[in-house]
Structures are given as structure tokens and as C-alpha cells.
């Protein structure tokens, strides 16, 4: 399927949906389980392109990985991955590639090469590479310094104090934290720049704690003592980023949508989206999951918001802002330019196709809401979040066509089936 036409919905929406497990939690739990001793079961783990690529990479370095419909069984390597000389292809999975780079640096054996798509090989890795090298990792960039493909010789990590820039991605810090329990000396990570996407680091710390590893944080430093992850049965909650698209549908169309399997006390920062929609004129409630509702007679209103803590929600917020009265100012997300695509440029370009006035800022967007949204052929840039966000905008615009709709497989393989359920 190379294109998907979206049909508008006629007035108010009443729906209940379930979304897959969290991609962010699944990938972090995979690393913890792979480093642990014994077998872990990851219940409701997300089965999609990104975590599957990471799981296969872990299997290629000694972890025992068993796939089933609702769970992953992971037999750990007890902190010692076995490098097999294989090339590890990580697609466009930036999170998985950064985590795996740190993980495999603990290993021994025949050097491996970590690579990915053309876009992944253009995304920044330099701060993480330099930090791992400061810990004694034997890494060499094969084409361009600071970028994939990277040859990993392994040999373990010394630990000690290291300085890390996190202005481009919090994933660099999460990668170091995840392997911190297995460095030979206590790991001390000092941040040399302001931290972006803080909720993702909090998520990393929470999952590490669940697997038995404690991290101490003081000011701009993180301290990790040598310790071991404990294998466990771990329940993975619904993906808050995936839930955002259907909560946005309620905001745009009017009516009520409940995401039944997203808990009120979610670990994920992106669970804040319901609260953001409440600022725009929606009502939220919690019971069996999270419910967003809007009386069709109540207009959406524009807001001014720093989205630095929730960058993955920006495309979803942007399509809601397209219908809000007044301007919505989205700030604090310059790092969105280093995602699967330059998301700020992509969102601005595609919204303009739909007749929505947009000003692109260095670190965000200014969107002028309109009642005259028109459908268009949406270029997705092989970016799952662009595809899903503009599909939701198509619920209120005639003639919306999503190109390369299959790119949603990266995080939400059954997105189109769940979307179809809104029409019933």
C-alpha cells in the first residue's frame, strides 16, 4: 500500500480504543533484561519494527530471545554480550541504535559493525561515542566521525567520570545510564548542556529501578554503582505517544474517545497530552483508561507551550492547533530536527499544503488555526509520526491522502485498523 485516503468523520465521535505497548518502555526493558542474569518476561511488549530490530540485535550478541504474541522472553547475558562479527542493521531506530551501541561496548569477541538506513547514518551519535570512548570503549566510525556505521570491538567499560552533551538527544544519557551498572568502576555522568526530553530519562531511571539498579542524581550529575539487573516479569503499559492520536481525534472532531489501556499514573511523559488538550478546551477524565471529550459547540483555542519535555507529541499537537482559534506557539524543540526527519520542517510543509498558516521557528512552530482546512497529499518522509498525525487531521478535511502509510510499522503496526474502528 503506497497511499491511504482518509475519509472525514461526520460529527461527534464516540469511541473506545486500545493501543499497543510503549515503544520507549519496551526498548529500555529489552536492554535491562538482556544484561540481567536469568529469564525475563516482558508482558505486552510492543511488537513493531523498532523493538523487533533491537531484539534481533540482542539475540545476535548472546541474549536468548523468544517472541510470542503478547510477550517477549529474554534470557540475559549477565553483563557480557558476545560479539559475533555480524553486521547489525538497526533500520531508522535511533533509540535502539544508541542503546545497543552502549550495550555492545560491554561485549567481547569478534568485532561487529552497527549500521542502519541512510537517515539513521545522518543522525548524531558523536556525544555518545566520545563518552563511551572515555570509558574505554573501542569504537571507530567507518565513514564519518560521529556517525554510523560504527565498528565495535568491545572489551568492556571502565566507568568513572565522563562529561556528556545532551542538547541533541536525551537518548545519549539513557544509553550510558542503562549500561552504568556494568562498568568496572562507579559511573559518574556529568551533563555539559541542558537536558532535553527529561521525561524519557525519568522513564529510563524508573525501568532500571524495576530491574534492581539504583541511580543517584545530584544537580547535573548521575551516579551509578556497579550492580546487576535482576531478571523479572515486567508489565509494559500502553504507548502514550500512540494514544495521543486518538485523543487528538476527539479534540478535532468533537465527541469522546477513551484509550482504555493507558493508566492515569503512566510512567511516560507523553501521557501529559490529555492535560495539554484540556488547556485547548477539551475535558479529560480517568476511569477505565483516559478519556478526552469536547462538545462540538465548544471551540478549540490556541495555546503557547514549551514542548521540550514532550517532543514526540509535537506533530499531534500541531494538527490539533490547525483547527484551534488563534495562534498556537510551540517552543523548546530544536532537537526535533534530528529525528526520523526534520520534524519541524516536515510538519510546517505539510500543514501549509492543507491551507494552514504556519511560521517555522528555529526551535518550534507558530500555527494559525483555521476553519478552512483542506485535504492534500501528505509526504510522510518515512516518518511514522507524520503519517499518523496527518491521518487524524484527515478526519476533519476532505481529500487527505497519506503517502507511504506503511511507515507506521515503526511504532504502531495496526494503526490503520484502529483508525478504521472510529467509523463504526
Tens digit of pLDDT for each residue in 295-311? 999 999 999 999 999 99
CB contact at 8 A, 395 and 6: yes
Helix pair angle (23-35, 240-253), 10° resolution: 170
Beta-carbon contacts of 228 under 8 Å, excluding residues fewer than 6 positions away, are 36, 37, 78, 79, 181, 182, 212, 213
| Rg of the chain (C-alpha set) | 21
Q: Which of 189, 222, 255 is at the close of a domain?
A: 222
Catalytic residues: 312
What pLDDT, on a 0 to 100 scale, did the predictor assign at position 288? 86
pLDDT tens, residue by residue, 229-252 = 999 999 999 999 999 999 999 999
Same domain (yes/no): 69, 211: yes
- Is 3 assigned to a binding site? no
Whether residue 211 is predicted with pLDDT greater than 90 in this model: the reply is yes
Statement to judge: residues 259 and 152 lie in one domain:
no
pLDDT at residue 1 above 70? Answer: no
- What is the per-residue burial (b if ≥16 Cβ within 10 Å, else e) of 273-310? bbebbeebbbebeeeebbbbbbeeeeebebbebebbbb
For residues 313 and 275, membership in a common domain is answered with yes
119 is known to lie in a ligand binding site? no
b/e burial code for range 118-157 (CB count within 10 A of at least 16 → b): ebbbebbbebbbbbbebbebebeeeeeeebbbbebbbebb
Question: What is the DSSP code string of 345-393?
Answer: HHHHHHHHHTT--EEE-SS-EEEE--S-----EE--TT-HHHHHHHHHH
- pLDDT of the residue at 193: 95
The pLDDT mean for the chain works out to: 97
User: Does 197 carry a binding-site annotation?
Assistant: yes
385 annotated as belonging to a binding site for a ligand:
yes
CA nearest 27: which of 102, 118, 87, 129?
Answer: 102
Is residue 267 scored above 70 in pLDDT? yes
Task: Flag whether 374 is marked binding.
Answer: no
Number of neighbouring beta carbons within 10 Å of residue 261 = 18
Residue 343 annotated in ligand binding:
yes
Please indicate if the annotation marks 169 as binding a ligand.
yes
Q: Among all chains, which residue has been given the C-alpha cell 511507515? A: 407
267, 187: one domain: no
| Angle between helix 49-59 and 23-35 (nearest 10) | 10
Cα separation, 46 vs 242, whole angstroms: 11
- Find the CATH number of the domain harbouring 60: 3.65.10.10
Look at residue 232 and tell me if it is in a domain. Answer: no
Residues 10 and 43 in one domain: no
Q: Do 196 and 246 reside in the same domain of the chain?
A: no
CA–CA distance, 127 with 168 (Å, rounded to integer): 9
pLDDT > 70: percent of the chain: 100
Query: 330 and 257 share a domain?
Result: yes
* Cβ atoms < 10 Å from Cβ of 190: 13
Least confident of 187-191, 284-288, 300-304: 284-288
- The tens digit of pLDDT for each residue in 18-72 reads 999 999 999 999 999 999 999 999 999 999 999 999 999 999 999 999 998 789 9
Please return the burial class of 172, using the count of CB atoms within 10 Å of its CB with bins 0-12, 13-18 and 19+: buried
- Please say if the pLDDT value at position 345 is more than 80: yes
| Domain end point (choices 191, 222, 253) | 222
State the Cα–Cα distance between residues 367 and 385, nearest whole angstrom. 18
Cα separation, 402 vs 411, in Å, equals: 17
What's the whole-model pTM score?
0.94
Q: State yes or no: 126 annotated in a binding site.
A: no
Clarify whether residues 218 and 275 are in a common domain.
no
Chosen domain end from 193, 222, 251: 222
Pairwise CA distance, residues 187 & 334, whole Å:
29
The reply to whether 180 falls in a domain is yes
**What pLDDT, in 10s, does the model give residues 79-133?**
999 999 999 999 999 999 999 999 999 999 999 999 999 999 999 999 999 999 9
pLDDT of 319 reads 98
User: Are 397 and 295 found together in one domain?
Assistant: yes
Consult the annotation and say whether 118 binds a ligand. Answer: no
Residue 163 lies in a domain: yes
- Which residue, among 46, 38, 37, has the nearest Cα to 236 in the 3D structure? 46
Q: How far is CA 242 from CA 225, 234, 245, 259, 341, in A?
A: 35, 20, 6, 10, 18
Q: What is the mean pLDDT of residues 396-410?
A: 97
Written as nine digits, the cell of 5 is 485516503
Q: Residue 292 pLDDT more than 80?
A: yes
- Within-domain flag for 234: no
| Total number of domains in the chain | 2
* Chain centroid offset of residue 399 CA: 29
333 belongs to a structural domain: yes
Do 166 and 256 share a domain, yes or no? no
Q: Is 313 helix (H, G, I), strand (E, B) or coil?
A: helix
Q: Which domain holds residue 95?
A: 23-222
80 labeled binding residue: no
**Rounded CA separation 222/335 (Å):** 22
Same-domain check for residues 12 and 134: no
Domain annotation covers residue 164: yes
- The torsion angles phi and psi of 320, rounded to 5 degrees, stand at -70, -40
Give domain status of residue 227, yes or no: no
**Whole-angstrom Cα distance, residue 16 to residue 270?**
19
163 annotated to a ligand binding site: no
Q: Do 266 and 404 belong together in one domain? A: yes
Whole-number percent of the chain with pLDDT over 90:
98
Q: Is the dihedral of CA 43, 291, 269, 99 positive or negative?
A: positive
Instruction: Name residues whose C-beta falls within 8 Å of residue 329's C-beta, 6 or more positions apart in sequence.
Output: 302, 303, 304, 305, 364, 365, 366
- Could you tell me if residue 229 is inside a domain? no
Amino acid at each position: 500500500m503506497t497511499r491511504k485516503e482518509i475519509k472525514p468523520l461526520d460529527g461527534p465521535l464516540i469511541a473506545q480504543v486500545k493501543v499497543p505497548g510503549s515503544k520507549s518502555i519496551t526498548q529500555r526493558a529489552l536492554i535491562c533484561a538482556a544484561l540481567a542474569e536469568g529469564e525475563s518476561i516482558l508482558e505486552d511488549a510492543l511488537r513493531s519494527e523498532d523493538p523487533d530490530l533491537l531484539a534481533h540485535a540482542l539475540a545476535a550478541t548472546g541474549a536468548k530471545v523468544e517472541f510470542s504474541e503478547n510477550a517477549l522472553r529474554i534470557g540475559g547475558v549477565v553483563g557480557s554480550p558476545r560479539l559475533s562479527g555480524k553486521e547489525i542493521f538497526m533500520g531508522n531506530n535511533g533509540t535502539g541504535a544508541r542503546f545497543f551501541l552502549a550495550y555492545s561496548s560491554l561485549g567481547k569477541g569478534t568485532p561487529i559493525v552497527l549500521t542502519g538506513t541512510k537517515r539513521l547514518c545522518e543522525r548524531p551519535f558523536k556525544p555518545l561515542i566520545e563518552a563511551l570512548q572515555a570509558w574505554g570503549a573501542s569504537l571507530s566510525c567507518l565513514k564519518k566521525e560521529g556517525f554510523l556505521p560504527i565498528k565495535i570491538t568491545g572489551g568492556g567499560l571502565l566507568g568513572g567520570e565522563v562529561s556528556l552533551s545532551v542538547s541533541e538527544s536525551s537518548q545519549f544519557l539513557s544509553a550510558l545510564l542503562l549500561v552504568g551498572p556494568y562498568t568496572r568502576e562507579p559511573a559518574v555522568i556529568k551533563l555539559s548542556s541542558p537536558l532535553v526530553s527529561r521525561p524519557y530519562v525519568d522513564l529510563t531511571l524508573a525501568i532500571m529501578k524495576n530491574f534492581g539498579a539504583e541511580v543517584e542524581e545530584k544537580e547535573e550529575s548521575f551516579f551509578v554503582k556497579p550492580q546487576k539487573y535482576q531478571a523479572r516479569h515486567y508489565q509494559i503499559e500502553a504507548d502514550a505517544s500512540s494514544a495521543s492520536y486518538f485523543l487528538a481525534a476527539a479534540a478535532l472532531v468533537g465527541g469522546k474517545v477513551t484509550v482504555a489501556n493507558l493508566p492515569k499514573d503512566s510512567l511516560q511523559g507523553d501521557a501529559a497530552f490529555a492535560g495539554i488538550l484540556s488547556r485547548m478546551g477539551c475535558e479529560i477524565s480517568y476511569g477505565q483508561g483516559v478519556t478526552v471529550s469536547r462538545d462540538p459547540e465548544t471551540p478549540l483555542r490556541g495555546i503557547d507551550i514549551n514542548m521540550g519535555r514532550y517532543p514526540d507529541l509535537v506533530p499531534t499537537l500541531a494538527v490539533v492547533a490547525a483547527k484551534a482559534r488563534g495562534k498556537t506557539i510551540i517552543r523548546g524543540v530544536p532537537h526535533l530536527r534530528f529525528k526520523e526527519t526534520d520534524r519541524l520542517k516536515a510538519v510546517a510543509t505539510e500543514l501549509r499544503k492543507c491551507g494552514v498558516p504556519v511560521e517555522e521557528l528555529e526551535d518550534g512552530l507558530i500555527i494559525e488555526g483555521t476553519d478552512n482546512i483542506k485535504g492534500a497529499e501528505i509526504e510522510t518522509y518515512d516518518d511514522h509520526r507524520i503519517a499518523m498525525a496527518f491521518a487524524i487531521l484527515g478526519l476533519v478535511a476532505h481529500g487527505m491522502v497519506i503517502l507511504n502509510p506503511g511507515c507506521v510499522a515503526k511504532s504502531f503496526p495496526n494503526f490503520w485498523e484502529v483508525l478504521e474502528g472510529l467509523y463504526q
